[in-house]
Structure 1
Amino acid sequence: MEEEANHHAIIDMEKVIDRERLASTEQKISENPKLLSKAAGKKSCCIFRVPQSLVEANGKAYLPRIVSIGPYHRGQPRLNMIEEHKWRYLASLLSRTTQTQRLGLESLFKAIAPLESEARECYSETIHLDSHDFIEMMVLDGCFIVELFRKVAKLVPFEPDDPLVTMAWILPFFYRDFLKLENQIPFFILNQLFEITKLPGENSTLTLSTLALVFFNNSLQRPDEAIVSSAKGKHLLELVRSCFIPREEESKPLKRVVTPTHVIHCVSKLRRAGIKITPGNVSESFLHVTFRRGVISMPTLTVDDFMSSFLLNCVAFEQCYSGLSTQFTAYVTLLDCLINTYRDVEYLCERNVIENHFGTEGEVASFINNTGKDVAVDLDLCYLSHLFNDVHKYYRNSWHVQWASFKYTYFDTPWSFISALAALFLLILTVAQTYFAAYQYFDNPQNS
């Protein structure tokens, strides 16, 4: 009976298990991830899809508006207008190089073909393009960027009535779209195309990095020239990001600082505690924030369409790329702590810490709060660790808080000072009146 029951169980199990579906399950086990490939954790991978949590917080800030660079947004109909002009710019470049260097389209393909495998590894997603289409995309997008950089730097003239430069609204969108994390191609591809298409007599010391920074100069809050000259990156976003971080800061090992709290109070509360915020040195990067003797020094940050896009994409890059420091993430976390309402933004604008070309003070506050939302940063191990710790200690010092609160309440504005003075005068009159009334009462012999 037991053997018969086992036999029936085996038959029943064979009915339950679908061999075709089992084979399908085994195939899924053997397949590699495509949306976040295994190569995404390597140092070579540097071009990522922005995490969904950041997309939900900041909407379309990570999407290219007019031009697609690389594979992630390739072929989208809304970007076709500039796609057509890429071919025109490639034709312009080839007409020049064919005449001067006998360098044709085939030469460009041959120059990029050996770099295909390395270029594919730069993307966190598996790129479903065959070799020809992938190389064509690298050549087309890369030559468009390099040619545009040369034209803006006046190494090559624009064609007469070129709409990409005569229409004032287009270039500002290029500044932003070229610095979006999902809209990148590897810098070594750009550099290869730049080197082989150099003009006869072109300055041999002129680098693509310098040319790129000349292009972004109209929108970039450029810090010290020594930092700019040493800028490097795996793509244009990292190149421009590195301009704001001194080379020694990028490579300097950080020491863990255990802070009692990971919160700095908002501007309004800090002011009540006697902590002031002043603009820093204009030649410094806006990341150079210091705290000394109750004063937070912050170089002016211009908040506009370009800077808002740049900040968001730098933070997204730091969230994805493990081999990177987190200066931008720590900085926006600090801003998020300092700003709670539009009144905090008003004060920072009055102090020239923020230069607002973005919108209302409320819109700036909302932008800052969203930028700092759902980002991961170890505040015990970042370049602002000591600042968070020192501000917290100063804020917790009771006599600082009490004295500063008294001054803030009664002497912050002329009206509060006048009110306090009037109250004090009234108090003195009341005390004097009471004194003289008591004096007359006790001094009168009849009351004895």
Structure 2
Amino acid sequence: MASNFVNTKQLASDMKEEIERCEKGLRSDAGSSSCCIYRVPSKFVDNNGHWYTARTVSIGPYYYYSEGLDRDYKYQCLGSFLSRTRKKGIGLEDCMKKLLPLERETRQCYSAEIQQSDLSSNDYLEMMVLDGCFILELFYKFHDPEVVKSDEPLAHLLWRLPYFYVDLLLLQNQIPFFVLQKLFDISMIPDEEHGPSLSLPLLALRFFNNVLRRPDEAIERYDNPENRPLHLLDLVRSSLIPNDPTASLNDEDTHIQYSKCCRYEIIVRMIEPRLQDTHIQSIPCISNLRSSGIRVRPVKADSFLAVKFKDGLIEMPSITINDFMRYLLLNCVAFEQCYKSCTKYVTAYATLLDCLVNTSADVQYLREHIVIDNYLADDHEVALFINGLGKDVTVDIRHCYLSKLFNDVDKYYRKNSHVYFASFRRTYFNTPWSFISASAAFVLLLLTVVQTIFSIITYVHPNN
């Protein structure tokens, strides 16, 4: 075999350059340790299309140069915001001075491409002030319905409002929450119901509650100084996490368990033998689960994430599937997949839905049992959405808040006695007429047995 001369020195130099290029790419993708606002990974965009893209309003640097996103209404809201702060002696320059020292910190909240971008400090500061004041003014105005009716400039924005609700919760369309907090602190208005203690998280959640329609107590429990959201998407996502410790793990425990799973999986298996004995896997669709007698029942809860299972019954709060919910769930899942320190509550719930739903027949069953409230075109479209929601996402179901549910459902499904009983119930008790027929047959059988017993007694003891 002929041997070719190999320049090992040149080959090693080329390989080192490739290593540096790949390491630079990894650093660019990851950004800094403070990064919490990401570009949505291409695999999610390929699976779900435009549900991550701003349609009306651009927030933050990712869409700064995008065409078709008009900024006039943002300047209208900025003017209204300054009219409010001017009463307190605070002008536009004061807002800029508040945010100017935060440029480096805010840039680090984005991926490396923004941290190293050629977006000048002037443009960056203008963007933060304009976007932050626009968001706060929306919250202020829609906090008071009377203002909405009497504010003529705002009336021209009402048709955009459904798009604002969506665009403000896109992962790629965020600014850091502490920017909003700085501007809020210098412009805070008193709350007629609760006095001057109205917090920014509560003000924001009340705004989005115009769409989510949750009870007031469900969002007011989140009004806690210890809650420090990263941005508006994280705020709404965190407010959905169940507050019942029996229904889910708390954030700290979940984060610890995820850290173990990601970094020390082999060690955890060695020092925690119980993990080896726990057989947990994805569960079948609801059509197959019904064959083992597992049923679904709607329950009232503050969050649709509060799912439980007991004695063959999956208790699921009703969830409304409409365009807003599609945007919210998809962007929450994308955020949880990108942010390494984030608990995976919505991802676990998306995995559960993806397991339960394979076809439109599964959606029909959940809809008829008031678990899914379908506002899309048909059940087939809901099935496609749910299957896309759980596609290419990673979650360790042994360490998620639904791990016990997955385990219990799987064990229940595998018991043959449940399958036989469920089959018997479907055969003889599926309809009122089948129940009546089965009851009549049972009574007839019972009478026959009694008659037989008396015949035997008469034969054995003829005199009696």
When the two structures are superposed, what TM-score results if normalisation uses the length of structure 1? 0.81
1:25-424 equivalent positions in 2, closer than 5 A: 29=20, 33=24, 37=28, 40=31, 42=33, 44-80=34-70, 83-98=71-86, 100-127=87-114, 128=117, 129-154=119-144, 157=147, 160-162=151-153, 164-166=154-156, 168-199=158-189, 203-222=195-214, 224-225=218-219, 227-230=221-224, 232-246=228-242, 249-253=250-254, 257=275, 259-280=278-299, 282-413=300-431
Say which SS state the counterpart of residue 112 (structure 1) adopts: helix
Cα displacement string for residues 37-84 of structure 1 (whole angstroms, at most 9, x for unaligned residues)? 376361x2110111111111110000011111001111322212xx11
Say which SS state the counterpart of residue 37 (structure 1) adopts: helix
Alignment partners' CA distance in 2, 1:150 and 1:170:
17
Work out whether residues 242 and 302 of structure 2, in 8 Å CA contact, stay in contact via their aligned partners in 1.
no
Work out whether residues 274 and 404 of structure 1, in 8 Å CA contact, stay in contact via their aligned partners in 2.
yes
Alignment partners' CA distance in 2, 1:401 and 1:314:
37
Alignment partners' CA distance in 1, 2:18 and 2:279:
51
Q: Which runs of 5+ in 1 are unaligned?
A: 1-8, 429-448
Alignment partners' CA distance in 1, 2:64 and 2:58:
6
Change (3 A) 1:58 1:31: closer
Say which SS state the counterpart of residue 221 (structure 2) adopts: helix
CA drift of 1:304 comes to 1.2
Alignment partners' CA distance in 1, 2:419 and 2:112:
52
Letter of the structure 1 residue corresponding to residue 386 of structure 2: I
Change (3 A) 1:196 1:70: same
Letter of the structure 2 residue corresponding to residue 227 of structure 1: R
Q: Which runs of 5+ in 2 are unaligned?
A: 258-273, 446-464
Alignment partners' CA distance in 2, 1:360 and 1:152:
32
Say which SS state the counterpart of residue 320 (structure 2) adopts: strand
**Superposed structure 1 runs of 4+ greater than 4 Å apart:** 25-36, 199-203, 253-259, 414-422
Cα displacement string for residues 220-262 of structure 1 (whole angstroms, at most 9, x for unaligned residues)? 2436345332354110000011111146622234668555342
Alignment partners' CA distance in 2, 1:67 and 1:32:
35
Change (3 A) 1:273 1:320: same
CA drift of 1:197 comes to 2.3
Identity of counterpart residues, as a percentage?
50
Letter of the structure 2 residue corresponding to residue 371 of structure 1: L
Alignment partners' CA distance in 2, 1:336 and 1:31:
34
Say which SS state the counterpart of residue 298 (structure 1) adopts: strand
Say which SS state the counterpart of residue 212 (structure 2) adopts: coil
Partner residue, 1:3: none
Letter of the structure 2 residue corresponding to residue 229 of structure 1: D
Say which SS state the counterpart of residue 152 (structure 2) adopts: coil
Q: What is the root-mean-square deviation in Å for CA atoms of aligned residues?
A: 3.3
Cα displacement string for residues 96-151 of structure 1 (whole angstroms, at most 9, x for unaligned residues)? 433x2332222111110111111000002322211111111000000000111111
Alignment partners' CA distance in 2, 1:225 and 1:73:
30
Say which SS state the counterpart of residue 31 (structure 2) adopts: helix
Work out whether residues 232 and 238 of structure 1, in 8 Å CA contact, stay in contact via their aligned partners in 2.
no
Work out whether residues 150 and 156 of structure 1, in 8 Å CA contact, stay in contact via their aligned partners in 2.
no
Say which SS state the counterpart of residue 70 (structure 1) adopts: coil
Work out whether residues 191 and 198 of structure 2, in 8 Å CA contact, stay in contact via their aligned partners in 1.
no
Asked which structure has the greater CA Rg, the reply is 1
CA drift of 1:27 comes to 12
